[in-house]
Amino acid sequence: MPDLLAVFAHPDDEALVAGGVLARHVASGARTGVVTTTWAAGTPRAGELADAVRILGAGVPRLLGHADARIPESAPGRARLLDVPLDEAVGQIVRHIREFRPEIVVTHDGYGQLTGHPDHVHTHRVTLLAAHAAGLRHLYPETGEPWQAAAVWLATHPESGVGELGPLLTRVGKKLLTVPDAHVDAAVDVGPWHDAKWAAILAHRSEAARERSLPGILSRLPADVRRRIISTEYFTRLDLRPRRAATPAW
């Protein structure tokens, strides 16, 4: 399987929406890594992220260290991710892509997953820009030699795939932002890696203890219901590498 670099907004996103795929790729012998755009080293959730990433076999966390849009203490004295100059944020992710040199980059979809958190949406934007820029030698030359990943895979949820999770989220006042089923290129059965994924989710102890967070909601479910919910991960593929030149149709 190809080497994979995941770029997500918060500690716990990597486990919730791509933990199974990360564990699956590691089991196949591929390299995996996780970039997290918010929360700073030394904060409690950074420590939980380190535990989760270790469980998934994805090395050590790669923290950009910006503040969560809603939690200033996530990065004391640092700007919110949303307020960081776009060029700066893109350049930081370009550096990680060029250092890691993945075949696949994974990030949030354009909605920012089901609930549309602003940090998820912005991480989607800057990651798409960075994945393209990383392959262009005249952009961000200070961040290393160019590297063009083959594709970006957007973690998403199809309208037909929300299932039992939908009512659980609406019950606590969260949104349900789904894409048409035709937009999903892969529905990955990660059941064989369920145990690693669930252990990684639980490693985010502060979130699992909260009533309205997804880890907290999942932790209160019967095991069989939870397994059904987290054993499939959905993705939309965006190809990045240039194709053979063709005559335009327009």
How confident is the model over 23-49, as pLDDT tens digits?
999 999 999 999 999 999 999 999 999
Strand 232-239 and strand 186-189: the pairing is antiparallel
Q: Which two tokens stand for residue 38?
A: 């918010």
C-alpha–C-alpha distance, residues 223 and 225, integer Å? 6
Q: What is the pLDDT of residue 91?
A: 98
Does residue 47 contact residue 83 with C-beta atoms inside 8 Å? no
Does residue 73 contact residue 43 with C-beta atoms inside 8 Å? yes
Q: What is the pLDDT of residue 250?
A: 60
Q: Which two tokens stand for residue 22?
A: 């990360």
Q: Which residue has the tokens 């203490």?
A: 73
The residue type at 9: A
Q: What is the pLDDT of residue 174?
A: 87
173: left (phi over 0), alpha (psi -120 to 50) or beta: left
C-alpha–C-alpha distance, residues 64 and 52, integer Å? 17
At what angle are helices 13-27 and 194-203 packed, to 10 degrees? 140
| pLDDT digits 0-9 by tens, 47-96 | 999 999 999 999 999 999 999 999 999 999 999 999 999 999 999 999 99
Does residue 215 contact residue 17 with C-beta atoms inside 8 Å? no
With bands split at pLDDT 50, 70 and 90, how would you rate the model's confidence at 242? confident
* DSSP-H helix ranges across 101-164: 118-133
| pLDDT digits 0-9 by tens, 117-150 | 999 999 999 999 999 999 999 999 999 999 999 9
8: left (phi over 0), alpha (psi -120 to 50) or beta: beta
Average pLDDT over residues 201-211: 97
Instruction: Please state the pTM of the whole predicted model.
Output: 0.95
C-alpha–C-alpha distance, residues 150 and 172, integer Å? 38
| pLDDT digits 0-9 by tens, 142-180 | 999 999 999 999 999 999 999 999 999 999 988 899 999
CATH of domain 4-239: 3.40.50.10320
Please state the domain extents for the chain: 4-239
Q: What is the pLDDT of residue 133?
A: 98
Average pLDDT over residues 172-195: 96
Average pLDDT score, the chain: 96
